[in-house]
Amino acid sequence: MTAPGTRGGTFITFEGGEGTGKSTQIRRLAARLRLESGRPVLTTREPGGSAKAERIREALLAGLAKPYGPFAEALLFSAARIDHLDTLIRPALARGEIVLCDRFADSTRAYQGAAGGLDPAALRALEGVVVGPTRPDLTLILDCDPELGLARARARRDAGSDGAVDRFEAEALAFHARLRNAFLAIAAEEPGRCAIVDAALPADAVEAAIRAAVAERLPGLRPAQAGLLPAQAHGRSDDRPGTEHGDAA
C-alpha cells in the first residue's frame, strides 16, 4: 500500500465474488465522494477500463483463454492491467483524483491463484512487475455466501440487466467457495489495507458500512472547499462504471 497522499491521488479497490454488489456500491461511493471531498472521482473496472484492456476483457470473459490454463489467463489479465494502469489509473492519481476500481490485482490472486490453482509465489512475482508501487490505499472486500451471490447474478440476468453467463460465473459452486475463502485470506494477510464488508445486507446498509470504512481508513477524504457546488468542486470527472456480471479478474 502506498501511503495516502504521497502520489496526490487516492486509490480504492472493490473486490469480492460474483453478485456481491460491487458495481452498485462503487456508483454510490463515487457520488458521495464527489459531493463531500471536492475532488474528481474516476470509476473504472478490471479487466478493462482502457480501450485496449476492454478488448482483452471481451476475450477473457468469452472463455477464449480458458483452454490454455489459468496461467495464460493471468498473463492476459496482466496485459490488460498494464494498459489500464498506464492509460487511466496512474495519470488520474498523478492529477490528485480519487480512483475507484471494480477489481484489481487481488482478483487475479483469488481467481487464478487460490481458485485456479496457480502457484501464489508466481502470481506475487507477476504482480510485482505489473503493478509496482501502484498499490491500493484501501481495498473493500464485499463478502457474502456464494450461493446468495450467484442467485443475485441469476436474478439480474433473468430481469434482463445482464447478458449471457460468462466464463467465471459458470464455474461450479466449489470454485466460488474457494474464491470467497481466497478473498478472506487476503484480508487476513493485509488488514491494514483491506476491510471486509458484509454484502449479504441490504444495499443501503452495505453503503453505510463502506462509508464508515472509508471515513475510518482514509480520514483525509473530507470536503476540500466548503460552499462549492458539486459541479464546481469536483471539476473533471470520468465515469466508466464497472459491471457486476462477469467482472472477475
Beta bridge partners of 43: 100, 239
The answer to whether residue 195 scores a pLDDT higher than 50 is yes
Q: Taking the CA of residue 41 as centre, how many other CA atoms within 13 Å lie in the half-sphere pointing to its CB?
A: 23
What 168-176 contacts at long range (C-beta under 8 Å, 24+ apart), as own/partner pairs, is 168/18, 168/61, 168/111, 168/246, 168/248, 169/18, 169/245, 169/246, 169/248, 171/115, 173/146, 173/147, 175/115, 176/17, 176/18, 176/115, 176/146, 176/149, 176/150
Residue 13 phi, psi (nearest 5): -115, 150
Q: Is the pTM of this model over 0.95?
A: no
Residue 7 in any domain: the answer is no
On the question of pLDDT at 109 being above 60, the answer is: yes
**Number of domains composing the chain:** 1
Decide if 78 is inside a domain. Answer: yes
1-10 residue pLDDT tens: 544 444 689 9
pLDDT at residue 6, as a whole number: 43
In one-letter notation, the amino acid at residue 241 is: P
Name the residue range of residue 154's domain. 13-217
Look up the CATH number of the domain holding residue 187: 3.40.50.300
